Amino acid sequence: MTNPFQYAPAPESRSIVDVAPSHGLFVDGEFVDGTGTPFKTVNPATEEVLSEIACASDADVDRAVKAARRAFTRTWGPMRPADRGKYLFRIARLLQERAREFAVLESLDNGKPIRESRDVDVPLAAAHFFYHAGWADKLDWAGLGPGPRPLGVAGQVIPWNFPLLMLAWKVAPALATGNTVVLKPAETTPLTALLFAEVCRQADLPPGVVNIVTGAGETGRAVVEHADVDKVAFTGSTEVGRSIARAVAGTRKRLTLELGGKAANIVFDDAPVDQAVEGIVQGIFSNQGHVCCAGSRLLVQENVHDEVIASLQRRIGTLRLGDPLDKNTDIGAINSAEQLARIRELVDVGEAEGAHRWQPACELPDRGFWFPPTVFTEVSPAHRIARDEVFGPVLSVLTFRTPDEAVAKANNTTYGLSAGVWTEKGSRILAVTDRLRAGVVWANTFNKFDPTSPFGGYKQSGYGREGGRQGLAAYLEGAQ
Amino acid sequence: MTHVLDPGAPAAAVPPRREPPAPYRDVTRSDAAFRAFLHGLPGVDQVGAEARTAVLATRSIKTTAKAWAIDTAISMIDLTTLEGADTPGKVRSLAAKARRPDPTDPTCPPVAAVCVYGDLAGVAREALSGTGINVAAVATAFPSGRASRAVKLADVRDAVANGADEIDMVIDRGAFLAGRHRDVYDEIVAVREACGDAHLKVILETGELVTLDNVRRASWLAMLAGGDFIKTSTGKISPAATLPVCLVMMEAVRDFRAATGRQVGVKPAGGIRTTKDAIRHLVLVNEVAGPDWLTPDWFRIGASSLLNDLLLQRQKLHTGHYSGPDHVSVD
Amino acid sequence: MSDRLAVRKTYKLYLNGAFPRSESGRTYEVTDARGGFLANAAQASRKDARDAVVAARAAFGTWSGATAYNRGQVLYRVAEVMEGRHAQFCEEVAAGEGLSSSRARAAVDAAIDRWVWYAGWTDKLGAVLGGANPVAGAYFDFSLPEPTGVVAVLAPQRSSLLGLVSVLAPVLAGGNTAVVVTSRARPLPAVTLGEVLATSDLPGGVVNLLTGDAGELGPWLAEHDDVDAVDLAGAPADRAMELERLAAGSIKRVVRPPAEEPDWSADPGLGRLTPFLETKTVWHPMGL
């Protein structure tokens, strides 16, 4: 029977954003031309070109770092901490004021559903500024040792999966601790960072405190390797993280890395199963699985495997894939053709390795980059889809029989960013959580974030924390 | 009229225990077995359940979908009056509204049922004859349920005899919370017998069960005992119908059908006052249990003031402009 | 002077709770500050380093899984046994570092006191570095410090006991296990510390002491995928960058060497504890 309740399209209006046909760099409080070869940013849901973006060359990056240094020495560094805080409060408020605009722009540029950009990315970004604003004049009380001082100029490179939110995670603590910033957004998602630059101007933030240099890997390399950068913060792939760690070796630069993950989401037979299924779905399909802490490995206790998978498949059947600007869309577009190719490649590998692929009946739009939610069952720990980060809507299901086996399989990865545990038994939650080698453990929930809550990885998922008291340490001299 | 309440009459014979459906034959053997079964159902994490309904509540239902949802919601309403001040006149006026909710628009569907106290079921029956609209009567010492089994069963028989097509009973929450699951079960079975051909809706009064775990357990208990519908609330206790409660009940009927093959309906009642509330419930039905439940046979909304809000929204969709309370009838 | 012929010790490695020779069979001559012969020490090879990492990994579960109170007790017990070897440490430090007996005594006193200081940290780190996070939602959310894992320590080359203790004790206090390359030229206090550790309650494998050349062993440890962190305190100045680059391969936590070996008697703060601690954050809903 066809469902009589067909949701009519409910698109969020695009008219709130006015995407300029071209964008410059944001250096020393001004939008300026770049001297590199400009590139185009496209809407991944339609392949429509949204804007032409300036590319920062080494010389442009140098100008940005100089501006940041000047601002650090002359304005931002000497400023009363309480006033720095007030600027951050202003920024937080402006993000809230312009929330709809940011959400629409984020969904256009990134492909993520408007429901997520509206209800998750943008409010959390504002919350990060709000939280850190309050720290600016209380750092002596942060318990990070006596007389914490800013490091200077922070060079920050962020990924395309949560463009504005990752910007907030980087910029808010850097500014709150008195540093100035040169930030490079991802090549495929520069637009909200550039809108954020406008917000900085609207807030009358002194020139040079925040500089935004757009470009690809070469621009990022220039930021990381610039001799006058005191601190490098990177979120992205482990592979790039490795090269950045090599690049800063032997320098005085401080480094924090937030890298990849292959999180285990462990479901015991006494789990609250409906919520566990929600957590699995949320864990791997939100943001199209473009999440470093995604619960990409489902470890389900063997005695409930069949019913959990049946529930999961039924639930996946209700996910709505399509226009990211439709308020009822659950799964948006894959961010780029490159990422789509990587997902396809790993899915092909999974099939070739003998895992069983399942996808719901799901119509994909003709244009743009799309991939349906995918579940692999009969996955062995030796399969590549159980080890490599797919960074897409692809779940690998493994089974276990005992808590020991669950922990052993969960930890059997080079990553250690996050994990999930689902059981109604309190002591088991604590025991399993204690033994999981992961920086964030969600027990009976998944993919929750908060500015007060430190986030970051063990092992090859990186080092340093973002958020909370612990996150401040990355930006303070003498912090312990 | 039959007079079933004769203090001198011998106590009604305890009906034979009705077997629950396979594969649950054994669970009613003892309170211990019952407890083991009900407490062995998967737990419900309240925060997760609330988060799920919060996301579902963001579904944006517009234009054609909204028109369909409004008409469907109207057709699912158990238009209710359960006041001590109810009179035959009040019930007749409600029945008239049930038949033609919007007198200016013949395309507006009728509601599913009119829900009244048992003594007024006859009035409702007469006012609704030939309309296809059912008469629902609350019974079993509604709303508290605090009366002897004999009184409750007499209440049910009385309402059925007065012409009720549907009986809305309340469970014994005291017994449920005290762990006397067999008592609760037996009473539902007995009421089921007393209903004869009438449909039985089992009110869990979730506001008194407090936890979503209890909502799930009580839902299963009621379904095992043969209830045709499970219903959230009497409307006399707050909170009444909430989205998380309805979520857990929709999961229960979905899982029960998967396990036994028998479909059970769901009726949230109390607190659903706006079109937005009603549509959120329909979205929940659609995405949790599925479209099989999207008919008045399997989903009802117990409400009174909701109908007027649906009518106002319906008029807005048809005319393109907003209306006001004087453009729909007072109840 | 007694004319008794001295019984010379044969110095060995301390590895997995035992005292093996280097699998390579190599030894090297240890002299005092004036060049006088002191002893032959085992010269650890890359295979010894490999074995040490295996031992440290195997011991990590037990050590990190012990209660913080228990770790504190064990570490304090180490200090007690060190105190019993006070005279021997003084002699070795004086000879190796060319210090007067009073300065050597001061260094040994400071080393034992530092060990006691770190022993007292084990059950405070959670409270000082962790805590509850007031997230905006119905969740209980807390963060706790946890040990990073297996830490390779290139011990300071000059300060043979105080320097060694200053880099090793914080690693252990945090719950990590260690593979230490001792000062090459001044290994004897480290050898004695190994004997102290072996006769304390520290489980075998928690500390593995390799006498030998940091320049030779450093790259193997820095590049080892099963080492989680490296402290380059005693790395040769011209090799530090290379070692840090190698460590990047498996995203190791790295503590860079200071430009000059510092005065280890300064208050250490938490600066050598936190680099070898991870923050684990746990969320759980709060519902009825």
Q: What is the pLDDT of residues A274-291, one digit of tens each?
A: 999 999 999 999 999 999
Residue B107 phi/psi, 5° resolution?
A: -80, -10
* Residues A295, C180: Cα–Cα separation, whole Å: 37
* Residues B237, B203: Cα–Cα separation, whole Å: 12
**Residue range(s) in chain A whose domain bears CATH number 3.40.605.10:** 22-259+459-477
CATH for the B34-317 domain, from 3.20.20.70, 3.10.110.10, 1.20.120.1200, 2.60.40.2130: 3.20.20.70
CATH for the C27-285 domain, from 3.40.50.300, 3.90.930.60, 2.70.98.10, 3.40.605.10: 3.40.605.10
**Per-window interface: B 199-238 vs C, CB < 8 A:** 210-212
**For chain B, domain boundaries:** 34-317
Render A378-439 in DSSP notation, one character per residue.
Answer: S--TTSGGGTS---SSEEEEEEESSHHHHHHHHH-SS--SEEEEE-S-HHHHHHHHHH---S
On whether the CB atoms of residues A458 and A137 are closer than 8 A, the answer is: no
The pLDDT assigned to B12 comes to: 47
* Residues B177, B179: Cα–Cα separation, whole Å: 5
Question: Cβ contact (<8 Å) for A441 and C282?
Answer: yes
CA A218 to chain centre: 21
Q: What is the pLDDT of residues A102-123, one digit of tens each?
A: 999 999 999 999 999 999 999 9
Q: CATH class for domain A264-443?
A: alpha beta
On whether the CB atoms of residues B254 and B260 are closer than 8 A, the answer is: no
* Residues B268, B247: Cα–Cα separation, whole Å: 10
Interacting residues of B306 by C-beta distance below 8 A, sequence separation 6+: B73, B77, B272, B273, B274, B275, B277, B278
**For chain C, domain boundaries:** 27-285
- Averaged pLDDT for residues B10-21: 60
Q: What percent of chain B has pLDDT over 70?
A: 95
Name the architecture of domain A22-259+459-477.
3-Layer(aba) Sandwich (3.40)
A258, A302, A345, A477: the active-site residue: A258
Q: What is the pLDDT of residues B191-250, one digit of tens each?
A: 999 999 999 999 999 999 999 999 999 999 999 999 999 999 999 999 999 999 999 999
The pLDDT assigned to C1 comes to: 52
On whether the CB atoms of residues B212 and B250 are closer than 8 A, the answer is: no
Let me know if B318 is exposed, middle or buried by CB neighbors in 10 A (0-12, 13-18, 19+).
middle
In chain A, residues with a C-beta closer than 8 Å to the C-beta of B214 are: none
B267 is catalytic: yes
* Residues A445, A177: Cα–Cα separation, whole Å: 32
Render A94-111 in DSSP notation, one character per residue.
Answer: HHHHTHHHHHHHHHHHH-
Strands in A39-43's sheet, in edge-to-edge order, are: A22-23, A48-53, A39-43
Q: Is C125 left (phi over 0), alpha (psi -120 to 50) or beta?
A: alpha
Tens-of-pLDDT digits for all 480 residues of chain A?
A: 578 999 999 999 999 999 999 999 999 999 999 999 999 999 999 999 999 999 999 999 999 999 999 999 999 999 999 999 999 999 999 999 999 999 999 999 999 999 999 999 999 999 999 999 999 999 999 999 889 999 999 999 999 999 999 999 999 999 999 999 999 999 999 999 999 999 999 999 999 999 999 999 999 999 999 999 999 999 999 999 999 999 999 999 999 999 999 999 999 999 999 999 999 999 999 999 999 999 999 999 999 999 999 999 999 999 999 999 999 999 999 999 999 999 999 999 999 999 999 999 989 999 999 999 999 999 999 999 999 999 999 999 999 999 999 999 999 999 999 999 999 999 999 999 999 999 999 999 999 999 999 999 999 999 999 999 999 999 999 776
Q: Hey, what amino acid is at C68?
A: A
In chain A, residues with a C-beta closer than 8 Å to the C-beta of B72 are: 4-5
B26 touches chain C (CB under 8 A): no
**Residue range(s) in chain A whose domain bears CATH number 3.40.309.10:** 264-443
Question: Cβ contact (<8 Å) for C136 and A463?
Answer: no
The pLDDT assigned to A478 comes to: 78
- Cβ neighbours around B64 below 10 Å, total: 13
Angle at B9 between CA B4 and CA B11, to 5 degrees: 95
Let me know if B17 is exposed, middle or buried by CB neighbors in 10 A (0-12, 13-18, 19+).
middle
**Which positions in chain C have a beta carbon within 8 angstroms of at least one beta carbon in chain B?**
137-139, 285-288
Confidence band, pLDDT 50/70/90 cuts, at residue B170: very high
Residues in a beta bridge with B225 = none
A187 is catalytic: no
Render C136-191 in DSSP notation, one character per residue.
Answer: SSSEEEEEEEEE-SEEEEE--SS-TTHHHHHHHHHHHHTT-EEEEEPPSS--HHHH
A337: part of which helix (H) or strand (E)? helix A337-352
**From the CA of B210, how many Å to the nearest CA of chain C?**
8
Interacting residues of A341 by C-beta distance below 8 A, sequence separation 6+: none
- Count of CB pairs separated by less than 8 Å, A with B: 76
B231 is catalytic: yes
B330 touches chain C (CB under 8 A): no
* Residues B140, B117: Cα–Cα separation, whole Å: 11
C287 touches chain A (CB under 8 A): no
Nearest partner of C182 among C206, C203, C153, judged by Cα: C153
What's the complex ipTM?
0.97
In chain A, residues with a C-beta closer than 8 Å to the C-beta of C258 are: none
B168, B172, B186, B277: the active-site residue: B168
**From the CA of A318, how many Å to the nearest CA of chain B?**
6
Nearest partner of A168 among A181, A178, A152, judged by Cα: A181
- Averaged pLDDT for residues C131-159: 98
DSSP B77: E
* Residues A175, A179: Cα–Cα separation, whole Å: 5
Across B12-87, the runs of DSSP E, i.e. the strands, are 77-80
